[in-house]
Amino acid sequence: MMGQPSRLVKIGNEILMDMRAGKKRNGDIHLQDVVGVDREGNEVRVEDKIADDKEPVDDQVGLKMQVKRLQEAILRVLHGREKTVIEMRYGLAGKDELTQREIAHQLGISRSYVSRIEKKALGRLNKEMQV
């Protein structure tokens, strides 16, 4: 049970990195799409670029799909303070990543209340992601 929230944290951080890197896409990208040409004149495809990374392509694609599911779950499941706390805590939706103490100060509530809100929100997201 403890491993699930930590996975959500990792996925949340992946969402943050993706947003910060400005990798917003206007349309779908396919592994076979040509992204350039190498020195020998051969076409370079998305799958060629991804294959250079340490993680296998299918793991990377699976992670991206999970990130998308998590983004959708956040919008669908969390509202009000839960959504605000998660966005602030993990630096989502263009917000800076903050400590529970910093969030508490900004929202005018106690740090322990922020902790309870975060725990409840992560539990709801965890439940939603298991469906």
What CATH number is associated with residue 59?
1.10.10.10
In whole numbers, what is the pLDDT of the chain averaged over residues?
78
Residue range(s) defining the domain that contains residue 55: 3-22+46-130
pLDDT of residue 116: 96
- Tell me the C-alpha distance between 97 and 51, whole Å: 31
Out of 26-35, 41-50, 110-119, which region has the weakest mean confidence (pLDDT)? Answer: 26-35
Model confidence pLDDT, tens digit, residues 13-27:
666 565 555 544 445
pTM metric for this prediction: 0.54
Q: Residue range 112-129: average pLDDT?
A: 92
In a domain, 98, yes or no: yes
The three-class DSSP label of residue 110 is coil
Number of domains in the chain: 1
Classify residue 120: in a domain, yes or no. yes
- Residue 47 reports pLDDT greater than 50: yes
Q: Are 54 and 60 in contact (CB under 8 A)?
A: no
Classify residue 32: in a domain, yes or no. Answer: no
Q: Assess if residue 30 is contained within a domain.
A: no
In a domain, 37, yes or no: no
pLDDT, position 25: 47
